[in-house]
Amino acid sequence: MSKRQLVLSAVVFAAFACHGVLSAQKKQSDWNDYLGGTDSSHYSALKQINAGNVNQLDVAWSYANGDEVTYTFSPLVIDNIAYFAAKQGSLVAVDATTGKRVKVPVDYTDDNNHVELWTVSAQVQHRFTRALYGFATILWHDEQNDLNGDTKGLEEQIELQWRHRQTYIYGILRNSDLTSTFQDNHFQFFEVGVKREF
């Protein structure tokens, strides 16, 4: 299986393989909050999967994400429709049982869900040598969300790339300093990798 495919893990399959049983237990069948619930507990009250049969699980289906990005996420599942990120971060809706893409109308009926988002970003790139490139990016994020609180902050990223033919060796350093109503999110991230284009 190619790295360019997004393979939904056995966890998603485990939660939705028994579609008939899940439909009967409507209250427990949805995974409509990040990490399962408002407490992000990763917990489901369903009993179909247990320590005795978890080793029998297999991948039910996969979805090609359409780009070279690896997405890490907790899909949301509502009424047997799985929502997750795919090509360039776009939202995709698929039938959770079959993995076939479906069209879902978007209806914003919650009048209390007012979100105002401002982002300002800038990127500078420089070619140091024929093979060495540098990128510096800065992003200001200001979100006012009536339901989830306000978030403001600055994120910076520096990336160096060494390119030779179709091979890229890169290093990324990211700093995030976001403050929100409920928590402050300060972290540094460092990534080194190799990409090859074919």
pLDDT digits (tens, 9 = 90+) for 100-155: 888 876 665 666 667 788 888 898 999 999 999 999 999 998 888 877 778 899 99
Asked if residue 14 and residue 90 are part of one domain, the reply reads yes
Count of CB atoms within 10 A of residue 182's CB?
9
Kindly tell me if the per-residue pLDDT of 189 is higher than 80: yes
Q: In the prediction, which pLDDT does 42 show?
A: 67
Whether 73 and 125 share a structural domain: no
Where a domain ends, among 95, 129, 150? 95
Query: What is the rounded (10 degree) CA torsion for 48, 54, 57, 63?
Result: 90
Q: Which domain holds residue 28?
A: 5-95
Q: Which of 8-17, 26-35, 55-64, 99-108 has the lowest mean pLDDT?
A: 8-17
Q: What is the mean pLDDT of the chain?
A: 76
98 vs 40, which has greater pLDDT? 98
Q: Are residues 77 and 148 in the same domain?
A: no
Q: Give the pLDDT mean for 161-180.
A: 90
Predicted confidence at residue 33, as pLDDT, reads 64
Mean pLDDT score, 150-171? 91
Mark which of 67, 95, 123 sits at the end of a domain.
95
Q: Are residue 80 and residue 125 in the same domain, yes or no?
A: no
Note whether 157 and 128 are same-domain residues: yes
Whole-angstrom distance, CA of residue 158 vs CA of residue 173: 5
Please tell me which residue, 90 or 17, carries the higher pLDDT value.
90
* Residue owning tokens 């402050």: 184
36 contact partners, CB below 8 Å, separation of at least 6: 42, 43, 44, 74
- Model confidence at 11: pLDDT above 70: no
57-104 pLDDT tens trace: 888 888 877 777 666 666 788 888 888 877 766 778 889 889 888 887
Does a structural domain hold residue 43? yes
Residues 9 and 91 in one domain: yes
The count of structural domains within the chain is: 2
Q: Based on the domain organization, do 124 and 84 belong to the same domain?
A: no
10 and 88 assigned to the same domain: yes
Buried (b) or exposed (e) across 120-139, using 16+ Cβ within 10 A?
eeeeeeeeeeeeebeeebee
Residues 6+ apart with CB under 8 A from 20: none
One domain, residues 146 and 178: yes
Same domain membership, residue 185 and residue 120 = yes
Residue 2 binned pLDDT confidence (cut-offs 50, 70, 90): very low
* Same domain as 168, residue 138: yes
Q: Which amino acid is residue 48, in one-letter code?
A: Q
Q: Last residue of some domain: 66, 95, 124?
A: 95
Rg of the chain over Cα atoms, rounded to whole angstroms, equals: 21
Do 122 and 138 form a contact (C-beta atoms < 8 A)?
yes
Indicate whether 175 belongs to any domain: yes
